[in-house]
Every structure is written in structure tokens, then in C-alpha cells.
Structure 1
Amino acid sequence: MEYITLNEQGFADVSGWINCHVVNYDGEYIGQRDEYISATTGLPAGAYLDKPPKAKKGMAIVRKGGEWAFEEDHRGEVIFSTKDQSSKIVETIGSAPDGYTLIKPSSIYESWSGSEWVLDEAAKEEGEKNDAENNKSKLIEEANNYINNKQWPSKLALNRISDEDKKLFIEWLDYIDNLNDIDISSPSWPEKP
């Protein structure tokens, strides 16, 4: 393999091999390789003779304006919408797009202040109340389903319920009463019978 150099105009006077540094279609450095250059031609598109800088963590080496440069590289990382906290994986080189941040919110009740997530106490309180109300309804429905599956109301009406089942039926009714009495602003959940 015979290596050559290019003349002052950037062309080969004779055919041969040249070691060059190559970028992809986005201008990102992808490595070095030997290219065969025919006489009177120059380097192929995306190939350069000058060596790029050493790689840096979290940065991609790119070719811009005839020079090597660094750009943020968060590909594969998760970014979060500053509007609704939705997330997506970064697929391109560059900083996080407008409206997104690399900082993960720690609560669904946070909003973006421009530089950090800030807890919205009113939204948190309202959300926790809604969660408590939903949980209360779910537990009451589960208890009613359990009671109905045991057919205790029908058995009681027909006087066909055992003393043991009657005792359990009353415990489940007390449980439902306790659930109905819960203050959802600071719930203390009763144990199931």
C-alpha cells in the first residue's frame, strides 16, 4: 500500500492511499480510515486530513465550519418535558431541545421553574386527596363485593346465616363504616377483617 500526500490545491498528483478522518452525514466524527485517492482527485466528502481532538465524556466530536468541535451528546439518555413531565429518549447530538430537561422530576406534583422542578403544594394536596378518595371508593367496593359473594345479606334476610358468618358480616359492615368515616385529608386506613 503506497501512501501519498495531497498538493497545495488539495489534489493527488499520483494515485495512492491516504489516511483520513471521517464524519457521517451529520458531521459527527466516526473514525479514521485509509482512502484510495486517484491522481487528480481529492478527498471524498466527509473526509479530512487534520486529526480531531481527543474524545470527552458526554460530548460528540463534530466537523463545523472547517474545524473540529464538541457538541453535547445525550443520546440514549432520558429527557423530561418541562410542560407535562412526559419523557423520551434522546436520539440526536446536541443539548436537550427547548421545552425539555435532563433533570428528572421527583414528584408528579412538580412544575418547571426554568432551572429546576418546584413542588406545587396545592396540586400535591389536591392529588393526594383525589388518590385517597379513589382508594376509599375502591376499598368500599371490594368490601361490598366480598360481602355479596358470601351472600350474607340474603342469608340474613332468610335467617339462614350461621353465627360465625353473622359475626364476620358485622365485622365487614363495621369496616365499611370505618372507611366511610375516614377524613381523606389525612387518611388512616382501617385493617380488613
Structure 2
Amino acid sequence: MVIIFESNNNISIVTPTPFEQSGLTIEEVAVKAVPNDIKYWIVDEVLLPTQRPQSLWVINELEDGSIEITIDAVKEHQYEVDLVTVKKDQLYDDALSFINSKQWPSKLALGRLSEKDKSSYNAVLDYMDALDQLDLTTAPDIEWPVSPL
């Protein structure tokens, strides 16, 4: 069992195990751990949607005083978009680092880039263009381009 409460639009969880070892009941732990005037619930941990960050959780109090914790769909979608944006940026940076490690821009400017390297350079540039054209609003269902790296 855990103690859950919401304060300032943040959901907090208190795991009472360390306190219980000192002989306190879970209710006594809740009184000590939860700020005054904040409503709390004692719930079974298995009911928590721990596969998603707490910032996405919504506490819905039911008529019987128990709670149901759901995921805010709008926040979840933004969370997914943020995740794929980070991934896209990392893939783009990896491709750019690869290009620079091969010194292709300098070699091309000096006329020292082989035909094979020109082809590879163009493949990486095409990949970077494909990354730029991704519609990240469809997250998490992104069809990632295949990396030539």
C-alpha cells in the first residue's frame, strides 16, 4: 500500500515501508507525510499506472471515496511528441557528427571527395532531409527513415 496525494497539480506518492519499520501505521505515516489540509488516499500500488510518468496522471475521486487514476490524453500525447523530438534531434546530430568526422564538406569544397564518398554523403544528407520532414505530431507512431550510417 502507498499514500497518494495531489498538491499544486503534482501527484506525490509516499511509500510507508521505512516508517512502518518504526512501528507506525500507514495512517500515522500519512498524517506525518502529507501536508496539512491536503486530501490523501491509501491505495494498492498495483493500481498505479507506473508505466507512465506521474505528471500525466489524473486522480478521479469516485462516489464511494476511492480513486481511479487515469492518464491525461492531451498531456500523454505531448509527452510522446517530446520523446520523439528528442530522438529525432539525436539522430540528426549523429548524422551531422558522422559527416563532419569524415570531413566530407571540406573535401567536397576542395574537390577531393571520391565518387563513392559523394554517394555516401548524399545518402546521409537525404536521411537528414527525411528526418526534417517527419510529422512528429503522429507520435508515438513514427515511421523513422532508415539510417545509412
Q: Which runs of no fewer than 5 residues in structure 2 stay unpaired?
A: 31-39, 62-66
Partner of 1:175 in structure 2? 127
User: 1:140 aligned to 92, 96, 110, which one?
Assistant: 92
- Counterpart CA distance in 2 for 1:167 and 1:189 is 21
* 3-state SS of paired residue (2:58): strand
Q: Which runs of no fewer than 5 residues in structure 1 stay unpaired?
A: 1-73
Partner of 1:184 in structure 2? 136
Partner of 2:58 in structure 1? 111
Higher helix share: 2
Asked if the contact 2:5–2:13 (Cα under 8 Å) also holds between the matched residues in 1, the reply is no
Residue 81 and residue 155 in structure 1: after superposition, are their counterparts in 2 closer, same or farther (change >3 A)?
farther
Higher strand share: 1
Partner of 1:163 in structure 2? 115
Higher relative contact order structure (alpha carbons within 8 Å, sequence separation ≥ 6)? 2
Q: TM-score, normalised by structure 1?
A: 0.53
Partner of 2:83 in structure 1? 131
* 3-state SS of paired residue (2:70): strand
Asked if the contact 1:175–1:192 (Cα under 8 Å) also holds between the matched residues in 2, the reply is yes
- Counterpart CA distance in 2 for 1:80 and 1:190 is 44
Identity %: 28
Equivalent positions of 1:1-193 (< 5 A) are 79=2, 81-83=4-6, 84-90=10-16, 91=18, 92=20, 93-95=24-26, 97=30, 98=40, 101-103=43-45, 104-106=48-50, 107-108=52-53, 109-114=56-61, 115-186=67-138, 187-193=142-148
Give the superposition deviation at 1:113. 1.8
Give the superposition deviation at 1:100. 5.9
Q: What's the C-alpha RMSD, in Å, of the aligned pairs?
A: 2.2
Aligned residue pair count:
116
